[in-house]
Every structure is written in structure tokens, then in C-alpha cells.
Amino acid sequence: MGEATFTGISSGKNGWMRVLGVDPAAAGPTGFGIVESDGRRCRMLHYGALKVTPKRQRECASAALQDVHARVCRLIEQFSPDAMAIESVFTALNMRTALKLSEVRGVILLAAAQHGVVVHSYAPREVKASVAGHGHADKRQMQLMVRALLSMNETPEPSDAADALAVALCHLQKEQARRRFGLRDEDLSLKLRSAARSAGLSAEIRPSRATRGVLPRIVSTR
């Protein structure tokens, strides 16, 4: 399990909002990333991916879930995030994969509930639109955009970790919009749709184009 931490940050948050992003996986590594922002700047604190070994998976069906739960608990206890952002289940998955993914999400949500952390869920296309500007970005594009937005010295690996950082960035952008306009979640959705209609955009590209027009740009510095 490769992990990276930016060590040049004090332990006090000093007005920064800290988000734990999680990219749950049914079979591959579950990515995680800690990102924080003061509304103008955005920086990475820690990221990595939990790879459950085949031996561990063979031991017991619940062993892998226990590992994910324990890792998320440690991250929450170590970094004290203000919120958790997690990818929702992709509806195009087959039933078996969707069920496995739901189990992983379940133990992650349990860890958040046990530590009193509020959870926000975002669809994969919504995350891609927020970070890369369109909902069809591939994994390499997402890695490069995350690196640029967070002013990282190297491309985050594996891609699961980059996806987790992207989920955290997506939530920070949405939260900035809520605070800027004083909106609730449903009001923000209406605001985005209104901006899209005003720009004469199609329904397929509304999320990305509306985000460009409404959400404040994150200036990524350390």
C-alpha cells in the first residue's frame, strides 16, 4: 500500500475545511485522500490506497471489509476531517459487482457514523465534471488534473488514490458554492440548472458547464 503525506502543514486547521475523499472498490484498491481548503487555496495532506491481499480475501469474506473499516477509522482519528466525500455506486455495474461495492461503501459509512463525520456522496460523472471539466474524463486525465489542482510534485498513484482526491476536491467546490450563495443542496442544484439553461446548454453537459459558470475557481497552492 503506497501512501504519500505532505508534511509542511501544521496540525491546527486555522479556518481550513478538511475533507476525507474515498473511492470504494469492489475488487481493486480502495483509494483515500485528505484535502483541505480555506476557500481560496487547496492543498493535499495525505493519500494512498488500501490493497487487500488475495490471502486476506480467502480467509473470510468479511476480512477485507474489516480492513477497509479499520483503515478509514484510523484516517478519521489521525486527520479529524470536517466531512467525508465518497463516490456513489455506478448504476451501470452488474448486480454482483454493485452488491460488493455497496458492502464496501457500507463499512466506510459505518466508520464515518461512528466518528460523527458527515458524509456527502457524488456520482462518478459529477466528480469528473467538477475536476476535469467534463463527465467522460479517463483515469489518466483525472490524475493529471488532480496533480495540477493540488500543485503536487508528482502524479498521484495509483489512480484509485487520485480518484479519492478528486472526490474530495469535488466536495470542496460544491461547499464553496453553497457558502458563497447561501444555498442548501437542493437550491444549489436549481442554481446550476438555471445557469446551464441561461447558457443554452444540453442536459448531458449541464453539470460541467454549469460548474464552470457558477463555482469559484480553486487556486491551488501550498
Residue 55 has, within 13 A of its CA and on its CB side, a CA count of: 0
CA pair distance 179, 202, nearest whole angstrom: 27
Would you say 145 and 166 are in contact if contact means Cβ atoms under 8 Å apart?
yes
> Which position has the grid cell 474515498?
22
Would you say 37 and 16 are in contact if contact means Cβ atoms under 8 Å apart?
yes
Please give the span between the terminal C-alpha atoms of the chain, in angstroms, as a whole number. 25
CA pair distance 176, 38, nearest whole angstrom: 9
CA pair distance 158, 3, nearest whole angstrom: 9
Q: How many residues does the chain have?
A: 222
Q: Which of 36, 67, 126, 160 is catalytic?
A: 160
Catalytic, 87? Answer yes
Q: Which of 23, 36, 126, 163 is catalytic?
A: 23
Q: Which of 36, 67, 87, 163 is catalytic?
A: 87
Would you say 49 and 32 are in contact if contact means Cβ atoms under 8 Å apart?
yes
Active site positions, annotated:
23, 87, 160
